[in-house]
């Protein structure tokens, strides 16, 4: 449960106790390796995973064949994920292939190869994926992983009609199992706007923990946030961590009180909390994120969805820096439509859903700009690609830091990167993504229509949009 909630240090503490009792237990050791990788110790995680693989019998008893296949393929996949974060791409590819060889219908292994973004499938691999995807015995989860992988395989071959067929099928399968409701997200956005007023913030000046350590990078997924993180984490004073769940966890804890007597829920609770509670929550955030740090004065939290909680961040960490990375809507939304996320981001599996989310994001960010003027630095992905040195200077100036040339040569920085863009940010500036969506223009009419005036106002500061207009 702790691993699933990303409470990784607490999970590790519990696993230490379990392993003291049963040091050879493979389930405990696998979970421990997972915690190590999540805590930024992938080298140790890889060693532990490989020890587990070395202990697996080459030919299991017939009665245990199915569990052997499941366990072995999953460990190969975990090894590959860890190697990917380290930038050891060829070793990661070998482990992903080993997972697919062990279980030929293992959709996640094929999708993980596609998700490297730089990998190109062979004819034999494509034929195998098509065969497994078409098989009636393939599990639905494996099927949609295979669909997204095939979409990428045909995109790389410039067969956009075949590629879109699989991207669309994968999205339909994933959306069918999702419980995402855009009305709930939009209603919560309106509640944020109603509660988080300029008056609320003015009455709480001085609340919160004063530490300037965090740099929050927010926006939509696939907007360029990993690129920006890699740029700033190349500065000698800034630590790159990962997409941290701690702000979302604080908001979730405030949203679900134990009883009605515990008071109003989030975000309404922001108007009721005693001033000292804001400092307590800020200190809690800093304490909970400390295991991801190694001692540099500043660190990056690049959870993109934190744009929903900028009011909370401002109240509990008033000296933190917040940077909003924004990408042209067609490019951003299409990039999300062809991405299968490991967890969360359920709004990305349909054109109407992703367009509504983008429009609501614009609405909420405009609100933060209005009630907290100057609090958020906006960086447009296209501008970052077009003028890297100029934008790097602007970003570092906002963070009150001196310019360092290493931030322009970000691709030389050695660090773990856990997002889908991990391979791209290890190369010089990536321009190919600016117009990839145009190859699919024939099928993206509904997306363009759903985005509406967001296609132009994403760079402007329009009047607030009502919920009915967003819907």
pLDDT at 430: 65
pLDDT at 198: 97
Classify domain 1-103 at the CATH superfamily level.
Tetratricopeptide repeat domain (1.25.40.10)
Q: Identify which of 403, 375, 376, 400 has the alpha carbon closest to the alpha carbon of residue 391.
A: 403
CATH no. for 182-470? 3.40.50.300
pLDDT at 62: 67
| pLDDT (tens digit per residue) in 71-108 | 899 999 999 999 998 889 999 999 999 999 999 999 99
pLDDT at 262: 52
Q: Identify which of 373, 381, 246, 221 has the alpha carbon closest to the alpha carbon of residue 312.
A: 246
Instruction: Give dist(CA 353, CA 369) in Å, integer.
Output: 24
pLDDT at 470: 35
pTM for the complete prediction? 0.88
| pLDDT (tens digit per residue) in 136-145 | 999 999 999 9
Low-confidence ranges of the chain (pLDDT < 50): 258-261, 415, 417-423, 425-426, 462-471
pLDDT at 422: 45
Is the CB of residue 273 less than 8 Å from the CB of residue 204? no
pLDDT at 31: 93
What residue spans define the domains of the chain?
1-103, 104-177, 182-470
First to last CA, the chain: 35
pLDDT at 343: 86
Alpha-carbon Rg of the chain, whole angstroms? 23
pLDDT at 432: 67
pLDDT at 342: 86
């Amino acid at each position: 449960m702790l691993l699933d909630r990303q409470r990784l240090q607490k999970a590790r503490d519990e696993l230490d106790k379990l392993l003291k009792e049963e040091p050879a237990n493979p389930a405990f050791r696998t979970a421990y390796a997972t915690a190590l990788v999540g805590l930024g110790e992938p080298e140790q995680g890889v060693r532990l995973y490989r020890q587990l693989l070395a202990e697996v019998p080459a030919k299991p008893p017939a009665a245990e064949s199915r569990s052997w296949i499941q366990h072995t393929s999953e460990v190969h996949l975990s090894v590959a994920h860890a190697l990917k974060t380290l930038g050891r791409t060829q070793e990661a590819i070998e482990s992903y292939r080993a997972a697919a060889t062990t279980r030929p219908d293992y959709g996640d292994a094929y999708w993980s190869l596609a998700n490297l973004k730089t990998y190109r499938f062979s004819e034999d691999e494509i034929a195998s994926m098509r065969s497994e995807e078409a098989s009636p015995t393939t599990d639905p989860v494996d099927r949609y992983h295979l669909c997204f992988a095939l979409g990428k395989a045909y995109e790389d071959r410039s067969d956009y009609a075949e590629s879109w067929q699989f991207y669309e099928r994968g999205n339909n399968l994933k959306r069918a199992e999702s419980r995402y409701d855009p009305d709930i997200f939009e209603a919560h956005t309106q509640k944020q706007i109603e509660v988080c007023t300029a008056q609320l913030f003015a009455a709480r000046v001085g609340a919160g923990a004063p530490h300037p350590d965090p740099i929050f990078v927010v926006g939509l997924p696939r907007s360029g946030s990993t690129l920006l993180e890699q740029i700033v984490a190349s500065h000698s004073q800034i630590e790159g961590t990962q997409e941290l769940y701690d702000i979302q966890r604080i908001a979730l804890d405030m949203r679900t009180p134990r009883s009605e007597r515990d008071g109003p829920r989030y975000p309404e609770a922001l108007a009721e909390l005693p001033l000292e509670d804001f400092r307590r929550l800020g200190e809690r955030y800093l304490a909970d994120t400390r295991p991801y740090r190694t001692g540099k004065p500043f660190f990056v939290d690049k959870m993109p969805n934190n744009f929903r909680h900028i009011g909370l961040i401002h109240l509990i960490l008033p000296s933190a820096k917040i940077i909003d990375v924004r990408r042209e809507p067609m490019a951003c939304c299409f990039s999300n439509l062809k991405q299968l996320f490991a967890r969360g981001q359920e709004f990305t599996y349909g054109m109407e859903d992703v367009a509504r989310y983008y429009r609501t994001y614009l609405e909420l960010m405009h609100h933060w700009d209005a009630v907290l003027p100057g609090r958020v630095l906006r960086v447009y992905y296209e501008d970052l690609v077009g003028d890297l040195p100029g934008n790097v200077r602007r970003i570092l100036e906002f963070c009150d830091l001196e310019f360092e040339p290493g931030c322009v040569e970000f691709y030389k920085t050695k660090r773990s990167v856990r997002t889908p863009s991990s391979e791209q940010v290890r190369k010089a500036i990536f321009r190919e993504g600016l117009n990839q969506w145009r190859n699919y223009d024939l099928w993206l009419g509904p997306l363009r229509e759903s985005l509406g005036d967001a296609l132009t106002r994403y760079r402007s500061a329009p009047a607030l949009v009502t919920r009915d207009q967003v819907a």
